[in-house]
Structure formats: C-alpha cells, structure tokens
Amino acid sequence: MVDRRNKREIRHLEQELPKWQVLVDSVTGISMPDFDSQTLAVLRGRLVRYLMRSREISLGRSTKDNHVDVDLSLEGPSWKVSRRQGIIKLRNSGDFFIANEGKRPILVDGRPVMAGSKQNSAIILCLRSRV
C-alpha cells in the first residue's frame, strides 16, 4: 500500500518536471553566467538564485496542494510567506511588474511592496532584463 502510494507520488512529480518555469540553482559563490538564451531575468536570494524563463512567474510557498514557480521557503523559515505571495510579469515594453497578492509586504532591494499593491520596474531596481 505504501509502496503504491510512493510510486504514484514519484509518477506525479515526474509529470510536473516539464511544467517548471523557473530553474532553481544553488548559489555557491562561484560566478556562473546568469543569462543564457532562455533566461529573461535573474532573482537572487540569500541562498538560491532563480532564473526567470517565462514572461510571468508566481512567488510564494509551495505546499503539496499549491505549486508556485519561485518557492521562497528555500530561502529559510517560511511561516510568514503566503502560499501565493505575488507575481512578476515582463511587459511587452520590457519593464517588469510585481504585484503583491500576500498578506505581508514583499521587500525588493529593501523597499516594501505592500499587500495589494503593484509596482513597475522603474521603482524595483533588482529586476533587470537582459539587454
């Protein structure tokens, strides 16, 4: 019974792999090229580097029932992070846009993006597209 459940979960995870839009790569201190032909932006945390490879990604805390593109729980204790904390979009103009959908503010370069608010990349300095 347990073996069957484990096999089903493994099969489910294998089916999810192609759907991942953000490559999570450990930050080791060794400088690797941030951009390749598929990377639109790079988000750097304290422990993890996230490569944005689609025009829209979701931020938050992944659970068994809730999948997000950027799992902020990999950065450390995540009890204050909402399951769907926010989204980042790349507009046709090349500007990035962040919307906070969580209960608590998102800090971007030390500046808060309050719950329910939206900001353009003119204010958010850490999101830079490849030029």
pLDDT tens per residue across span 21-32: 455 555 455 455
Read off φ and ψ for residue 10, nearest 5 degrees.
-65, -45
The CATH T-level fold of domain 21-120 is Tumour Suppressor Smad4 (2.60.200)
CA-based end-to-end distance of the chain: 53
Q: What is the pLDDT of residue 122?
A: 42
In angstroms, the CA 34 to CA 44 distance is 10
pLDDT tens per residue across span 48-102: 788 888 899 999 988 888 889 888 888 877 778 889 989 999 888 888 888 888 8
Query: Which tokens in the block code for residue 29?
Result: 């201190």
Higher-confidence residue: 33 or 122? Answer: 33
Residue 37 confidence (pLDDT) above 80: no
In angstroms, the CA 59 to CA 119 distance is 15
pTM above 0.75, yes or no: no
